């Protein structure tokens, strides 16, 4: 055994090593996803509770997200350069690079929500006709489901994220209509209702990024570029 491996093992060992590295890449991406998801949850809670500490947490968290993103990117680039993967492995690494960018944007949007909240922290909260808590829950559920579909390479689960996107689009449209009416009837509410509109839009954009992640999972598993067919079906 120690003097040399039979040819079949010589052939397979580098492949096993490569697949261990792919698994490590997936783990790093999962850590990145956890940070982004947590940023969204904290930002929405910060808004709902006017909590400056949570706002600061979201901003500090951004540094962690940025270095997690860099780690994932660097490992993905290194695997592309050194291992020169083919077909499904190549598509997986490309999907990871794209998903990583989406997760980073999700973190950025969470910071926008936190900054917007900090601006308003001295204002008394008023009862606005919008349920940002539910929208936030829904958006983070979409991220979680998209990441689950990545973990399992599960196309139907990824497709369910695309369906969910219709629902959050609807929630966002209702929020904009209701909040606009409130501003027209009670202009003194504009200082709070307007940021609420922008946060509703932020959550809808976060959901769009979750949809992108799901689409990249489908591309990875199926290979064909189904992106635009799917987006046509969803629009």
Interacting residues toward a copy of itself by CB under 8 A: 66-67, 69-70, 73-74, 77, 80-81, 84, 86-87, 90-91, 94, 97-98, 101, 176, 180, 183-185, 187-188, 190-191, 194, 197-198, 201, 225, 227-228, 231
Question: Residue 98 CB: number of other CB atoms within 10 A?
Answer: 15
* Runs of H (alpha helix) within 50-154: 52-83, 87-119, 132-152
- For the bound state, the minimum distance from the C-beta of residue 36 to a copy of itself, rounded and expressed in Å, comes to 15
Contact between residue 179 and residue 129 where contact means Cβ atoms under 8 Å apart: yes
- Judged on CB neighbours under 10 Å (0-12, 13-18, 19+), 224 is exposed
Residue located via tokens 């999972």: 217
Contact between residue 183 and residue 189 where contact means Cβ atoms under 8 Å apart: yes
Residue closer to a copy of itself, measured from CB, 164 or 230: 230
Residue closer to a copy of itself, measured from CB, 157 or 190: 190
Residue closer to a copy of itself, measured from CB, 149 or 209: 209
- For the bound state, the minimum distance from the C-beta of residue 131 to a copy of itself, rounded and expressed in Å, comes to 20
Give the residue among 191, 212, 179, 22 at the shortest CA–CA distance from 109: 212
Please tell me whether residue 174 adopts helix, strand or coil conformation.
helix
- For the bound state, the minimum distance from the C-beta of residue 98 to a copy of itself, rounded and expressed in Å, comes to 7
Residue closer to a copy of itself, measured from CB, 5 or 198: 198
- For the bound state, the minimum distance from the C-beta of residue 146 to a copy of itself, rounded and expressed in Å, comes to 16
Q: What is the rounded CA–CA span in Å between residue 29 and residue 37?
A: 12
Residue closer to a copy of itself, measured from CB, 85 or 153: 85
- For the bound state, the minimum distance from the C-beta of residue 159 to a copy of itself, rounded and expressed in Å, comes to 19
């Amino acid at each position: 055994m120690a003097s040399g491996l039979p040819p079949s093992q010589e052939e397979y060992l580098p492949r096993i090593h490569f697949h261990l590295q792919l698994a490590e890449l997936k783990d790093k991406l999962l850590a990145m996803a956890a940070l982004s998801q947590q940023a969204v949850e904290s930002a929405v809670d910060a808004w709902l509770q006017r909590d400056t500490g949570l706002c600061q947490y979201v901003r500090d968290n951004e540094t962690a997200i940025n270095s997690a993103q860099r780690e994932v990117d660097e490992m993905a680039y290194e695997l592309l350069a050194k291992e020169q993967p083919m077909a499904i492995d190549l598509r997986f690494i490309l999907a990871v690079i794209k998903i990583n960018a989406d997760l980073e944007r999700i973190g950025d949007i969470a910071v926008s929500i936190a900054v917007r909240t900090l601006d308003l922290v001295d204002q008394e909260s008023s009862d606005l006709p919008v349920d940002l808590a539910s929208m936030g829950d829904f958006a983070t559920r979409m991220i979680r489901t998209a990441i689950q579909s990545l973990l399992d390479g599960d196309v139907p689960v990824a497709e369910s994220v695309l369906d969910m996107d219709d629902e959050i689009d609807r929630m966002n449209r209702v929020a904009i209509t209701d909040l606009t009416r409130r501003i027209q009837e009670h202009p003194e509410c504009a200082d709070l209702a307007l940021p609420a509109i922008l946060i509703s839009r932020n959550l809808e954009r976060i959901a769009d990024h979750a949809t992108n992640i799901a689409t990249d999972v489908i591309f990875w598993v199926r290979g064909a570029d189904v992106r635009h067919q799917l987006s046509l079906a969803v629009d």
